[in-house]
Structure 1
Amino acid sequence: MANNTQMNENERGIFKLHGITGMLVAVVLLLTILVVLVFNGVLVQQREASNAYQINQDLNALKANSPDNYKHYQLIGNGK
């Protein structure tokens, strides 16, 4: 019986999830992750919506990926 590939009922792992149970656990986990990320995204959007800014100079003075761009605008929001 060295090549016996049949599994007896008492040899199954306790924590193995197959079929519909494993699918439901995976779906619940993915939905939980989705809810947490959307909730945090909404909170960030609400927090940053009050941080408006005004450009002090001509838009052409701004350069892509320049570390000096902060000199060309000022925050006018309440900054909570």
Structure 2
Amino acid sequence: MENTNRNVFGLNGVTGMLIATVLLLSILVGLTVMGISAQQEVANKPYKINNISTLKVRDKDNIKNKVIEK
């Protein structure tokens, strides 16, 4: 039996590999840009804690002491 359906530039050959590589690199670039923009946004919003003496370890109410400075 002879395989006559071989195609080097088909989707399962070099072209498919290039498409997959470009897709993965574009996802990587997109996630990197989103991460950097999120870090820059948060870095421009410093916060301070009103009353440090009322803080407790692993308490949900600690968020009430946090004030975002503008």
Q: Same fold (TM over 0.5)?
A: yes
Unaligned segments of structure 2, at least 5 residues = none
Deviation at 1:35, TM superposition (A): 0.5
In the TM superposition, residue 17 of structure 1 has moved relative to its aligned partner by 2.1
Question: Which stretch of structure 1 is more off in the superposition, 30-39 or 44-53?
Answer: 44-53
Aligned 1:1-80 pairs, distance under 5 A: 4=1, 6-9=2-5, 16-18=11-13, 20-58=14-52, 61-64=55-58, 66-76=59-69, 78=70
Which structure dedicates a bigger proportion of its chain to helix?
A: 2
Q: TM-score, normalised on structure 2?
A: 0.72
Q: TM-score, normalised by structure 1?
A: 0.65
Question: Which secondary structure state, in structure 1, belongs to the residue aligned with residue 48 of structure 2?
Answer: strand
Gaps of 5+ in 1: none
CA RMSD of aligned residues (A): 2.4
> Offset of 1:39 from its aligned partner?
0.7
The structural deviation recorded for 1:37 is 0.3
